[in-house]
Amino acid sequence: MKINPLRVDTSDKYFEKKILKRIRINNNINKKVQNNVDEIISDIRENGDNSLVRFIRKFDDYNIKNIKKIVITPNEIKKAYKCIDKLQLTSLKKSIKRIRDFSKKQKSSSWMSKKDGSILGEKVTPIETVGIYVPAGKASYPSTVLMNTIPAKIAGVKNIIMACPISNIDDHALAIVAADLCGVDTILRMGGAHAIAALAYGTKSISKVDKIVGPGNIYVTLAKKAVFGDVGIDNIAGPSEVVIIADSSNNPDWIAMDLFSQAEHDELAQPILISSSMKLINDVHNSVEKLLPSMLRKNIITKSFNARGMYIKTKSIKEIGIIVNNIAPEHLEIMSKNYKDLLKLITNAGAIFLGEYTPEVFGDYCAGPNHVLPTSGSARFASPLGVYDFQKRSSLISLSKKTAIELSKISVSMALSEGLQGHALSAKYRDK
C-alpha cells in the first residue's frame, strides 16, 4: 500500500475545509457496543462478584472460580520481579524519580487569608480512593502505571486499586513491578467494562472508588463515560496525535520517525507536519518512504498516514500559530530554530516539546511531565493529568460580626431581586 498523506497549502482555496475534514473523526458510537456496555454495568451492579467472575472468564482469558483469585498476591509480585532484567528495573526506577520530581511541583496546599477578623481560604484534601485502569492484551504498559499512579500518590491518595486484564504474570511483569514500585495497594486481574463497573460501584469483594483514571479500548471508554457522575474520571481519550513544526535546518529522518512514533499507535492516530519549507516537506516524505519498510507496524503506520496524516505548507509563523491553536494537538513538537517565537503564539496544546533533541517519545516514558493528555482538540479547555486531578478543594469562610453586617445588606438586596425571601431573611438575621 502506497503511503499518501494529505498535502495542503494555506494558499489553497478550500484550506480550512480540508483541514477540518481531516481532523474530524467519526464519533458515531456503535449502538451494539454501547448496549453491551450498559448491560455489563447493570449486571455488575445487580449481581456483584458472581457476574464479575463470569465476565472475567469470558473476556479476560483468565479462568477463575473464586473471586479472591483476581488479586495479585505478594508471591506473584516477587515472581514478576524475577521476570524482568536489571536494565528494565533500573529504567523504571529512573523514570519514577523524574516523574515524582516533576509531580511534586504540582501539589497544592490549603491556604487562608485573614482580614477584619474574617477568614477566607481553601482546604485542599486528597481523593480517598482511586482506581487505575491499565490495558494489557498482548503488551505490558508500565508507563501507564507510572503516569497515573505517581501523581495520585503525591496528592496523598490513601488507597489505589489497579485493574489490568493480566492472564499470566510473565507477560505483564513490567506493569506489576511498576505498580509495586509506585505503591499501588491492590492489583486486580480484570479488564474491560466489567472492571470499570466493579470499581465504580463496588462489589462484596471490591471497594468502590471515588475516581477512575487510565486508558482503554472502546468498551472501557464507554464504560467510563457511563459511570461518570457516580465517580470521577480523567477524560474520554481519543486517538493519539502529534503536530511537528519544522524548518529546513531539521533532520528529515528524525521528523519521519517522530511521526511514525504516533502513527504506529493505531489506524486513527494522526501525524501532522507543518512547515514553510516545501523542500523540507518533500525531504520528510522521502524519509517516510525510505524508513517505512523497516517498521514492524508499517501497515498501521500506512493506514494512519493515509487516513489522517497531513503535510501543511505555510507562509508565516503567524499562520502556524493559528493552525496549531485550531487543531489543539495532544502532542506538539516545535523543532524549528525559532521555537521560542513560535511558543509565544501557542495557546492550545497538551504537551509542547521544544527543539530537535526533545522528541515526544521522551514524554511518553521518562521526561517527567505526564503523558496522559487531552486529545481530539480538547486541549482548548483541558490539561494534562496531574497531582491536582487527585486533590479536592473546599472553600473556607469564617466571618466576623462586622463583616456579616456588611454582607447582610448586599445579600438581602440581591436575594430580593431574585425573589428568594428565605435567602433575604437568613441574611437579614445577621444584621444585628
Which positions are annotated as active-site residues? 330-331
Q: Other CB atoms closer than 10 Å to residue 409's CB: what's the count?
A: 12
* Cβ–Cβ < 8 Å for 116, 400: yes
The rounded distance, in Å, linking the Cα atoms of 62 and 48 is 18
* Cβ–Cβ < 8 Å for 355, 337: no
* Cβ–Cβ < 8 Å for 222, 197: no
Length of the chain as a residue count: 432
Q: Other CB atoms closer than 10 Å to residue 216's CB: what's the count?
A: 24
The rounded distance, in Å, linking the Cα atoms of 349 and 332 is 7
* Cβ–Cβ < 8 Å for 130, 152: yes
Cell numbers of 167, please? 492472564
The rounded distance, in Å, linking the Cα atoms of 22 and 17 is 9
* Cβ–Cβ < 8 Å for 426, 414: no
Sign of CA dihedral 329, 143, 145, 187: positive
* Cβ–Cβ < 8 Å for 220, 192: yes
Q: Other CB atoms closer than 10 Å to residue 428's CB: what's the count?
A: 15
Q: 305: Cβ–Cβ under 8 A, 6 or more apart, which residues? A: 3, 4, 5, 259, 263, 271, 288
Helix (H, G, I), strand (E, B) or coil at 109: coil
Cell numbers of 165, please? 486484564
C-alpha distances in Å from residue 87, one per residue of 93, 142, 315: 10, 14, 46
Question: Which run of H or E residues covers position 56?
Answer: helix 49-59
227-234's contacts with Cβ under 8 Å and 24+ in sequence apart are 227/41, 227/196, 227/197, 227/200, 227/201, 230/200, 230/201, 231/131, 231/199, 231/200, 232/127, 234/148, 234/372, 234/385, 234/389
